[in-house]
Amino acid sequence: MNRLDPIGVIDSGVGGLTVLKWLQEKMPHERFIFIGDTARTPYGNRSREEIQGFVGEMTAWLNRRNIKQLVVACNTITVLGTDVIKNGYDFSVIGMKKGAHMVEGVTRNKKVGFLATDFTVASGAHKKEIQEMDPEIQVFGQGCPKFVPLIEGEQFGSPELAAAIKEYTDKLKEYDVDTVMLSCTHYPFVEKEIREAFGPGVTILDPAERTVQAAMEDLKQRRLNRETGLGRAEVCFTADLERGKRLAARMLDMNQCDFRLIHL
């Protein structure tokens, strides 16, 4: 492994592009290889065994490309656990941070909500981490099964997306939350609409920022961070390349990216 090796980034679909955006902004000298498994998205309603199998295929493909680090740009995959994802490979694994410490000092009434896939909510991981930090905080998870298909289907501005946003935000409003985490990487695609639905009294947090910070610290600690050169991203999808490009254009500087269709 050396500084010039690329960083791998994996996601169940296009949501991880929101994390890749942060990675490119914060680490402009690094090369990234992103895989969005658009052929099999969404993962949120699949079994653990299925998800583990899909992740194994992506990590094997990236290992052949000699990555120095793997950033898991997907909360559903992160729930599998770092050791399972790493599967004996040499590269380090950075999972999506749950953002527990981002909540500290932000919530005033100690009522925190998070929007996520059903799989992530059912795992209980977010609630556990926040309450370990501060047992007084009440945590309310809301599964949003309609979001990923609508975002992947580019249904921005549609009545269906508006109705889904209202449905899920109304449920969290019932608990009087004053802080909400976007605990799925797809959701920043509709962050503006979610903010408007909650109104100015609710703070919206994106844990991707904390995830990228962890990735930077890991590379520095292992002396594998690049400090010179022009960075670039190879953005790979397992299906629907043109759709992937259109969604990427909402998040990324297209001049810094190359796109390709791959088969795992």
Please enumerate, by residue number, every residue annotated as part of a binding site for substrate.
11-12, 43-44, 75-76, 185-186
Extract the tokens encoding 203.
């703070």
Location of structure tokens 């109304």: 170
CB 148 within 8 A of CB 117: yes
Beta strands in 7-96 (DSSP E): 7-11, 31-36, 69-72, 92-94
Cβ neighbours of residue 229 closer than 8 Å, sequence gap 6 or more = 29
Q: What kind and span of H or E run contains 61? A: helix 48-63
DSSP state of 141: E
Nearest to 75 by CA among 165, 219, 186, 149: 186
Buried b (16+ CB within 10 A) or exposed e, 31-43: bbbbbbbbebbbb
Cβ neighbours of residue 85 closer than 8 Å, sequence gap 6 or more = 55, 59, 70, 72, 77, 78, 93, 95
Extract the tokens encoding 132.
């370990």
Location of structure tokens 């680490």: 27
Nearest to 147 by CA among 161, 157, 158: 161
**74 in catalytic set:** yes
Output the known binding site: 11-12, 43-44, 75-76, 185-186
φ, ψ dihedrals at 72, nearest 5°: -90, 100
Q: Which listed residue (144, 184, 236, 257) is catalytic? A: 184
Q: Which listed residue (74, 144, 236, 257) is catalytic? A: 74
**184 in catalytic set:** yes
Residues with a catalytic annotation lie at 74, 184
